[in-house]
Structure formats: C-alpha cells, structure tokens
Amino acid sequence: VGGVRRAKHAGSWYSDDSDTLQEQVRGLLASEYAEGATRDPSLRAVIAPHAGLRFSGPVAARVYACLDVTTVRRVFLLGPSHHAHVAGCGLPGAAVRAYATPLGELPLDMETLEELRGSREFSELPMRVDEAEHSLEMQLPFLAELML
C-alpha cells in the first residue's frame, strides 16, 4: 500500500489480530512488570528492547509505562539495522506517510522528516529494507496503544 509502511512482523513477532494485540499490550502495561512505574512528564528519551513481544514485552511495558503521553509532541525512533548496511541514520522513504499496526496507523511527522532529509545527513531506506527490519516495528504496538 503506497504511503504506509506495512506491519510486516505482525503475525509472527506479535499478534496480527487487533483485539488480541490490544489485550496483550494493555495486559503488559497493567502487569507486575510495569507496576510501580511512574509517568514522568520530563522524560525525553527511553531505551526499549526490540525482540518479539513474548520475549521483550514485559521490559518494554516497564519502559513505556514511564512515558507520560500527555507531554509527548513527537517521537523519534532509533534502532539497529539487522539486515542491511545503512550509512549513518536511515529515514523512511519520502512516500511513507504512516506506519501500520494492527491497532491503527501511526502518522509520521512529514515536516520534520523533510527537514532531516534536507540536512543531507540521513539516507533514505528502500521500503523492502525498512519493512524487513523489526527493531522499530516492535515499538509500534506500545506507541499505538498509548498514543492513538
């Protein structure tokens, strides 16, 4: 689908069923793993794991339980590339306007992406490379649950 990065790892790394995935993410955010996490409006960065939800979900839930989404204006996702060499930081292709998840589409900040592209410090990822990589996609179910 043009303009939307597909959720290529849904159905294997995490559920592709929206109801099941929402139940899993909400359950993790309400679990003992996230218990005691304090939402911090001053939080500016988090580091979250990127393995399959059943492996890294509890730790990711603890991280995201600290995020006060009422203060979030923009999210920058940084992750490794496991399948292709990327010189510097890679950005989604110019045609990509949103990231799909079973919980809905997360819109991208096109103005900020254009500004980053204009700096010539970033490379553009072909869609096949972007969709093959799981590290950023594994963050999307939590972000979709908290921000959509």
How many other CB atoms are found less than 10 A from the CB of residue 69? 13
Q: Is-above-0.85 flag for pTM?
A: yes
| Residue 15, domain extent | 4-147
Amino acid making up residue 110: M
What does DSSP say about strands 98-101 and 104-107: parallel, antiparallel, or unpaired? Answer: antiparallel
Residue 2, pLDDT > 80, answer no
Separation of first and last alpha carbons in the chain:
21
pLDDT value at position 20? 99
CATH number at residue 34: 3.40.830.10
Tally of domains within the chain: 1
Q: What is the pLDDT of residues 94-147, one digit of tens each?
A: 999 999 999 999 999 999 999 999 998 899 999 999 999 999 999 999 999 999
